[in-house]
A = this chain, B = another copy of it.
Amino acid sequence: MSIRENLAELCSEPLHASLAAASMESMNLLNNISGTYPEAISFAAGRPYEGFFDTDQLHEYLNVFTDYLRRERGMTDQQVSRTLFQYGDTKGVIGELIARNLAVDEGIDADPRSVVVTVGFQEALFLVLRALRADDRDALLAPSPTYVGLTGAALLTDLPVIPVPSGERGPDLAELVGQLRAARDAGRRVRACYVTPDFANPVGVSMTVVDRHRLLEIAASERLLLLEDNPYGLFHRTPDRRPPTLKSLDTEGRVVYLGSFAKSGVAGARVGFAVADQPMGDGLFADELSKIKSMLTVNTSPIAQAVIGGKLIANDFSLVAANTRETAVYHSNLAQVLDGLAKRFREGDGVSWNEPDGGFFVVVTVPFTVDDAFLDYAGREHGVLFTPMHHFFGAGTESCQLRLSISTLTPERIEEGLDRLADAVTARLPRSTPTTAGSTAPGGFGTGALS
């Protein structure tokens, strides 16, 4: 049989439905667009700042971790090398270090036995969804718009996502309760609600403290598990005044905390974790997640764990302290982008944006549909990239919004990038009047704009 016939044959059998879903294509499209326009200034990638990367740090973190294994765990050199080179415990080797970090930075009291170290946040999310999805009745609540990786993990586990409209203060809790009850009335078993209380991707905003308490009350009264995602929370302008995480307020085991070190530790280590302290059988929910992990990735690379463990130890377990410089960059960039938008658009343009007080993202609303064709146009004609918001709403939706990520650019690139963005947007404005620098009134941005 020729390769061509073979091709025809392989294509004749369907693959898993996730592979035909628009959200899976989103990730590819968004990854490829920077390759298509490598010279463009990209506000697209929600990646950590690269200015402080230093390869020597990897060696240092590894050394700090191996010293810790010898000193605090009393290991011989042979045991140290076995820890790094050999297969390891499914739950990981840095659960205790992570628990200390959560105590120091988040006021979360986590039993190390409840911690499963994972290949990034994404694997932790997959493990939880795989565990919870038992049959066709199951469903998950999640804010809309939401992180593309949530949509993708749900697709991989055949778990339908029920959208909860989400605006400038996070998910609308009345809508959440309404959707939950409607789903249950329709025979759905709602297994959990995914939520990012702090600087959520893609909208960039945070839930109020009142809403956090209210959400926990809803979880208790409605018997709902919450999956808390918190990659951006520690990049707060005044770290001491960060609102509490849901997990730190959780006295009933209602919250599974899904952690990431991609922004606060080293993205390239691909280390995240779940804190799943819900009692279950003779053990904890973490033990069930660990069983799934043993058949998915066996264990997270102990070398990668050593890099994160070393960084935690080297910074006295505070990633807030470890990220002082990065946090300053993110706030400076955010302020510059907000100021820059105000300088480049004027009242009456129909252009508005929200004003998060931290995190990586700003959402800009324009008076026309932001589709992938407009992204392509902006990349090709103006050398600027961003993320059309429709990708975060799921298949078949339209949106007049785009997301700007402020995390990786220098001040010079931000200025030039905003100039290019203003040109691209202005060219599409209905009356196409040239904008002038110096306008000050920012556009409004209400909850309604996102629902």
Contact = CB atoms under 8 A, between A and B. Distances in A.
A292 interface: yes
A285 interface: yes
A373 interface: no
A292 B18 contact: yes
A186 interface: no
Contacts of A156: 130, 292, 295-296
The main secondary structure of chain A at its interface with chain B is helix
B85 A295 contact: no
Contacts of A10: 225, 253, 278-280, 285
A87 B268 contact: yes
B27 A295 contact: yes
Nearest to A51: B78
Interface stretch (A174-182, A199-207, A298-306): A298-306
Interface in A200-257: 220, 223, 225, 252-254
Interface string A1-24: 101101101110111111100001
A191 B13 contact: yes
Given A55-B84, A58-B84, A294 B152 contact: yes
A114 to B, nearest CB: 12
B81 A55 contact: yes
Interface in A86-124: 86-88, 90, 119-120, 122-123
Contacts of A132: 15-16
A9 B223 contact: yes
Nearest to A48: B86
A77 interface: yes
Contact of A278 (B7, B19, B28, B58): B7
B296 A122 contact: yes
Contacts of A17: 134
A80 interface: yes
A303 B288 CA distance: 28
A273 B266 CA distance: 23
Given A16-B133, A131-B16, A152-B295, A55 B50 contact: no
Interface of A: 1, 3-4, 6-7, 9-11, 13-19, 24-25, 27-28, 31, 45, 47-48, 50, 53-55, 58-59, 62, 66, 77-78, 80-88, 90, 119-120, 122-123, 126, 130-135, 149, 152-153, 155-156, 189, 191, 220, 223, 225, 252-254, 262, 266-271, 278-281, 285, 288, 291-292, 294-304, 307
Given A3-B252, A119-B297, 9 more contacts: A7-B278, A10-B278, A10-B285, A50-B82, A50-B85, A54-B81, A122-B295, A156-B295, A270-B299
